[in-house]
Amino acid sequence: MKIGFIGTGVMGNAICLNLLQSGHELWVYNRTKSKAENLMDRGAKWCANPQKVAEQADVIFTMVGFPSDVEDVYFGEHGIFKVAVKGKYLVDLTTSKPQLAQKIYATGEKLGAKVLDAPVSGGDLGAKNGTLTIMVGGDQAGFNKLKAVFGDFGKQVQYFGPAGSGQNTKMANQIMIAGTMTGLTEMLVYAQQAGLDLSKVLKTVGAGSAANWSLTNYGPRILKNDYSPGFFSKHFLKDLRIALDTAKEMKLDLPATKQAKKLYETMVDKQQLGDLGTQGLIKLWWQ
Ligand code: NAP
């Protein structure tokens, strides 16, 4: 398949490697070109902007950072919608706003493209291992057509309904992660203060009913003083803001998620630690 990929950062780069491994032809663009060089070494072709990617490929994936970046790659001066996209498949893998997914869908539909919002979960390791969970909304026929491609980098792939449903599922996921990340952090802070052996605590708690993905994957990184991303805390704060804004529109109050957002605001906005992984939250207690 002729695949285009825009955004070759932590997640996008690893997904591209899996797509190349599966034998797809790949055209790539990233704001910082050097982050795509390993892909070009393996046969991917560089394009000067998103528009050029969309000219070459039949299926165009986007995986950029923030909703403003998504706006830019679709609607910007050299964006995807500058191209005649009729018959093409446009898939946004970025964690972004459900309303923006609907706007891209509506624009694409008018132009004859099949549009999907397909955010993922499973972290940098899931992307490397091709075992991501993919939550899809948008054009159902398009989803059926792309199932095999999703299988090249995902293990659990689910269709949820109309445009924005993938993003709403991802927001539900992030509301859960707000609990596991704050739980992991406060558990370690408490256990250390109580003088416990922290690696024993992780092993034991992780084998009981408090077991969860954050604990298994980020607990050991914290004990090794490894705060590299993984998953940037600035991106997690973005997700918590989208989740809470969307909840507000639905007239829902989510006090625990609000508290998690406040903690990540302190870390990212006040302490300027947004480029650390989400496990860096513990730095609010441990200097
Ligand atoms: P990342 O490493 O920052 O990757 C994003 C890439 O998009 C960067 O390389 C960035 O370029 C590029 N980009 C941003 N705006 C662009 C634009 N206008 N045109 C072209 N390229 C642009 O972040 P990531 O960890 O891969 O995360 C990507 C998305 O996936 C985020 O929305 C995140 O919330 C979500 N996500 C992440 C994880 C995870 O564990 N990492 C898991 C699930 C979902 P530069 O290189 O110039 O910055």
274: domain CATH number? 1.10.1040.10
106 CA distance to ligand 1 middle (Å):
24
Tell me what percent of the residues of the chain surpass a pLDDT of 90: 99
User: Which residues are tagged catalytic?
Assistant: 170
Residues 158 and 56 in one domain: yes
Residues 268 and 141 in one domain: no
HEC letters along 89-116: EEEECCCCCHHHHHHHHHHHHHHCCEEE
Quote the CA–CA distance of 57 and 205 in Å, as a whole number: 47
Structure token digits, residue 271: 């302490």
pLDDT category of residue 87 using cuts at 50, 70 and 90: very high
Q: What is the pTM of this model?
A: 0.97
| Sign of the C-alpha dihedral computed for residues 222, 228, 234 and 236 taken in this order | negative
Tell me what percent of the residues of the chain surpass a pLDDT of 70: 100
Closest CA to 139 of 104, 173, 171, 169: 104
Instruction: State if residue 32 touches ligand 1 by the CB under 6 angstroms criterion.
Output: yes
Asked whether residue 1 carries a pLDDT value surpassing 90, the answer given is no
Q: Which of 235, 268, 279 to mutate to test the pocket of ligand 1 (most atoms within 8 A of CB)?
A: 235
The DSSP string of 237-285 is: HHHHHHHHHHHHHTT---HHHHHHHHHHHIIIIIS--TTSBGGGGGGGT
Residues 221 and 261 in one domain: yes
pLDDT at 258 (0 to 100): 98
Domain span including residue 52: 2-163
Residues 121 and 205 in one domain: no
β-bridge pairing 132-138 and 154-161: parallel
Residues 128 and 198 in one domain: no
Residues 242 and 116 in one domain: no
Asked whether residue 287 carries a pLDDT value surpassing 90, the answer given is no
pLDDT at 20 (0 to 100): 98
Instruction: State if residue 70 touches ligand 1 by the CB under 6 angstroms criterion.
Output: no
Quote the CA–CA distance of 116 and 165 in Å, as a whole number: 10
Residues 31 and 98 in one domain: yes
pLDDT category of residue 214 using cuts at 50, 70 and 90: very high
196 CA distance to ligand 1 middle (Å):
37
Residues 156 and 240 in one domain: no
Q: Considering 138, 163, 188, which residue would you say is the last residue of a domain?
A: 163
Crossing angle between the packed helical segments 165-193 and 255-265, to the nearest 10 degrees: 70
Compute the mean pLDDT over every residue in the chain, rounded to the nearest whole number. Answer: 98
Residues 108 and 87 in one domain: yes
The distance from CA 248 to its chain's CA centroid, rounded to whole angstroms, is 22
28-79 pLDDT, tens digit each: 999 999 999 999 999 999 999 999 999 999 999 999 999 999 999 999 999 9
pLDDT at 33 (0 to 100): 98
pLDDT at 16 (0 to 100): 98
In the predicted model, what is the mean pLDDT of residues 207-211? Answer: 98
What's the structural domain count of the chain?
2
147-198 pLDDT, tens digit each: 999 999 999 999 999 999 999 999 999 999 999 999 999 999 999 999 999 9
114-135 pLDDT, tens digit each: 999 999 999 999 999 999 999 9
The distance from CA 209 to its chain's CA centroid, rounded to whole angstroms, is 27
Q: Considering 134, 163, 192, which residue would you say is the last residue of a domain?
A: 163
Residues 99 and 13 in one domain: yes
Residues 182 and 86 in one domain: no
Structure token digits, residue 163: 């445009």
pLDDT at 183 (0 to 100): 98
Q: Which of 176, 181, 232 to mutate to test the pocket of ligand 1 (most atoms within 8 A of CB)?
A: 232
The H or E element that residue 156 is part of is strand 154-161
Q: Considering 144, 163, 182, which residue would you say is the last residue of a domain?
A: 163
Q: 27: domain CATH number?
A: 3.40.50.720
Residues 71 and 117 in one domain: yes
β-bridge pairing 2-6 and 25-29: parallel
Quote the CA–CA distance of 25 and 14 in Å, as a whole number: 15
Produce one character per residue of 21-52: b if its CB has 16 or more CB atoms within 10 Å, e if not: eeebbbbbbbbeeebbeebeeeebbebebbbb
Specify the ligand 1 atom closest to the Cα of 119: 44
Specify the ligand 1 atom closest to the Cα of 32: 47
